[in-house]
Every structure is written in structure tokens, then in C-alpha cells.
Amino acid sequence: MALTAPPWTAVVLTLFPEMFPGPLGLSLAGQALKAGVWALETVDIRTFARDKHHSVDDAPYGGGPGMVLRPDVVNAAIGDLRALAPELPLVHLTPRGRRLDQSQVQALASGPGVALLCGRYEGIDERVLDAWQPDEISLGDFVLSGGEPAAIALIDACIRLLPGVVGAEQSLHEESFEHGLLEYPQYTRPRVWQDREVPEILLSGHHARIEAWRRAEAEAMTRARRPDLWSAYLRRPRCAAEAVAAPTDDE
């Protein structure tokens, strides 16, 4: 296995390498991939099986349904990766991991890349996870068929933060979670649609008032829809850069 060395590299350890790039080959991510802004490598875990049937899983000790990925096979795949790319943080995508948030995405996007270990079936033998100590990350409190869809989502979130991928970089600073809040509502033409009008403040050209309105809408939406985020937001120290003062009449 040979890895390229662009500014940011994603390596996916998976039983289904044909699932990649998938949607990552389209739109902004796909354009950046073709331009060499980032690179994608896949490692087929099955190629590290040593028996004639290329077995990668076995029945769980203690009984129970399903199959478990074997530690010797997964260990060989990780070991091969580590020998070639020791600088990449290893992430295991699993429902039992800590919930992925924007701060984690920013941290990964600012580094050399990420190696993503995708589980399947009932999971991976705990011993190999103990041996390599990957950072365990979850997209949320639900279960997917495997780690591949989660890997695609995490990679996409990182790619769009890379320099030059998103055209209007200012938009990155106004999205959901960037300031601990959900994003404010957005509107475009036509001005009236199905008897619904664009809020008058957005047509005023008064930038300070528009900014204050957007912050108020973001706060109201976060408070109503994500009480957990709202509580965390209220605990944050308010810095001058985040505080939006109400505009005065003479502004």
C-alpha cells in the first residue's frame, strides 16, 4: 500500500473499499479531490486474512447473534497502515464513541489527515482496540450497518474546512455550531413565495441590525431545538468578538 502526501489525507480501513469515494467524489469534495487538495486511500481489511477462505470474522465468545471481526486480521491491517502513515490519528467509528462535534472536526481538519477504522457485523474484537487505543467517535445515538457511512460524513465535514474548498470562507464562520449555536434562517428570491414574505429587516441594508437579528434568531432556534447546546452556550465566556450589541437608532 502506498500513500500519497497531499495537505490532507483520509485513509479508510474497511471491508468494502468500493463504497469510496461515493458522494465524496462529487460536488465540492470531488472537485477538491481531483485538484489534489486532499487524497483518499482505502485499505481492504479482507486482504489481511491468512486462511484460504479469507475469513475476517467469527462467532462471539459467550454466544449471541452475529459475528465479530477477528483481532488478528484487524491488527494486521492497522499495523500495515501505522508503518506507512504513523502521523495520522486513528479513529474507530462506533455508536459507543463520544459524539462528534464541530470542534473535533476542526481539530482533525487542521492536522495531516485521519485514518478511519470501519467496523461491521457486531463490531471488532475488543483486544485489538485495547492494543491500538483508537479515538472512538460516534455520529449519534443510532446504529448503522457499518462504519463506512459515518466515515464519509466525517471526511466530508473535514474537507469543507480545508483552505480553498469552500469558495466563500466567511460562510464557514456563520454556520451551525461555529459559535455554539444553530444557524439562523436563510432566505433568497423571490421576495414573496406562497404569501410568505422575507423578513423586512433583511431588506433594510442595515448590517448591524441584520447581524443582531440573525444572532437573536440563532439563539431562539438553539434554545427551542437543542436545549443541550443552549445550556453549553450559556456557560461559555462571552468575548467581544461574539457579543452582538443591539444597534442604536443613530447607527
What structural domains and CATH numbers belong to the chain? 9-159 (3.40.1280.10), 177-235 (1.10.1270.20)
234 is in an annotated binding site: no
Amino acid in the structure at residue 20: F
Alpha-carbon gap, residue 216 to 247, rounded angstroms: 13
Of 209, 105, 120, 115, nearest to 162 by C-alpha is: 105
140 is in an annotated binding site: yes
Alpha-carbon gap, residue 183 to 149, rounded angstroms: 24
Sign of CA dihedral 122, 125, 129, 132: negative
142 is in an annotated binding site: yes
68 is in an annotated binding site: no
pLDDT at 169: 59
Q: What is the residue-level pLDDT of the chain in tens, covering all 251 positions?
A: 555 445 899 999 999 999 999 999 999 999 999 999 999 999 999 999 998 888 999 999 999 999 999 999 999 999 999 998 999 999 999 999 999 999 999 999 999 999 999 999 999 999 999 999 999 999 999 999 999 999 999 999 999 999 989 875 545 555 556 688 999 999 999 999 999 999 999 999 999 999 999 999 999 999 999 999 999 999 988 643 454 444 444 44
48 is in an annotated binding site: no
pTM for this predicted structure: 0.84
